[in-house]
Amino acid sequence: MIIGFTSSFPVEVIYAAGYKPVDLNNVFITGNAKKYVEDAEFEGYPRNICSWIKGMYSVVLSSDIDAVIGVVEGDCSNTHSLMSTLQDKGIKIIPFSFPYNRNKVELEKEIKELEDYFLVEHSKVLEMKERLDQIRKKLVQLDKLTYMENKVTGLENHLWLVNSSDFNGGPNNFENRLDEFILEAENREPLKFNVRLGYLGVPPIISDLYDFFLENDANVVFNEIQRQFAMPYLEENLTDQYLKYTYPYSVFDRLEDIKVEIKKRKLNAVISYSQSFCHRQIDNILLKKYIDIPFLTIEGDQPGDLDARTKLRIESFLDMLRY
């Protein structure tokens, strides 16, 4: 059985139940993303709704996904309506919530409900967490190769971390490819660049963003949310792991993590990415207010390459950092 999901959640439960989890965002962005958005608009999804939501809708309807776990609290204000339109098409919907107040008991209850739904014992879920943590340790190593040794590009870092939300549906295969990649990266010469960037916000819908940074001698050595998807804290307990995960909670939790990483990774500046029509654009007000290094906000709407105006803004920002 293939289980789609709208945002990172305790994926251990699905693997422990013997099913294949699929992050709908990853399928959308690596597929014919423009067409997915168009198809949803053709069905009546409004133009002024985030493209990721439209993409996920079309991905589910055009694939062999059996059920969808919708993260209805702690992710996206549009998920409720996305779930309703999918349910109307006959798709099985399973809700999951991260408690707004980051309450441990409530989160434990949510995880238990998911385990009961999939008829899986908690001990099996913990065994799976141990297995996935072995891979997550390697992702921490890859992240260090990025910010300590400058041997991994921002794009490579982004791709590995973002894909760890579902381990591409197969942890063993993912791990084998990761091992090969780490070995190859360790033997590289360090990359040459003179600006160390942090990337904040949801993963970009823009395909050539990281390449454009590198062409301009800047590398992203901190991918904030993608790193969160990779669960880098390696907590002993499953609930604690998903309590430490900052993305579903308040922007102040994110800020705490970001500030530590700005120092640790010696960032020169941050790029804060906003998705058009996303409620998280409001969080950007506070990120900008409380982050005290140079800060550039960029916005993406439709899938595709950078537009000329955003390129100019990035170039000017990087020039300003150098002089």
Q: How many other C-beta atoms lie within 10 A of the C-beta of residue 108?
A: 16
Q: Are 274 and 284 in contact (CB under 8 A)?
A: yes
Residues 148-207 that bind ligand SF4 (CB under 6 A): 202
Q: Contact between 278 and ligand SF4 (CB under 6 A)?
A: yes
Q: Nearest distance from residue 46's CB to ligand SF4, in Å?
A: 13
DSSP states along 44-96: T--TTS-HHHHHHHHHHHTS---EEEEEEETT-TTHHHHHHHHHHTT-EEEEE
Among 59, 69, 76, 255, the residue binding ligand SF4 under the rule CB under 6 A is 76
Which contiguous run of DSSP H or E holds residue 23?
Answer: strand 20-23
As given in the structure block, the two tokens for residue 205 are 């819908």
Q: Contact between 50 and ligand SF4 (CB under 6 A)?
A: yes
Q: Nearest distance from residue 299's CB to ligand SF4, in Å?
A: 11
Q: Regarding beta strands 269-275 and 195-200, do their DSSP bridges make them parallel or antiparallel, or are they unpaired?
A: parallel
Q: Contact between 280 and ligand SF4 (CB under 6 A)?
A: yes
Q: Are 4 and 59 in contact (CB under 8 A)?
A: yes
Pick the stretch among 73-81, 132-140, 173-181, 190-198 that binds ligand SF4 (CB under 6 A). Answer: 73-81
Q: Contact between 69 and ligand SF4 (CB under 6 A)?
A: no
CA distance 57 to 78: 11
Among 58, 78, 239, 268, the residue binding ligand SF4 under the rule CB under 6 A is 78
Q: Contact between 246 and ligand SF4 (CB under 6 A)?
A: no
Q: Contact between 86 and ligand SF4 (CB under 6 A)?
A: no
Q: Which residues would be at the binding site for ligand SF4 (CB under 6 A)?
A: 50, 52-53, 75-76, 78, 202, 275, 278, 280
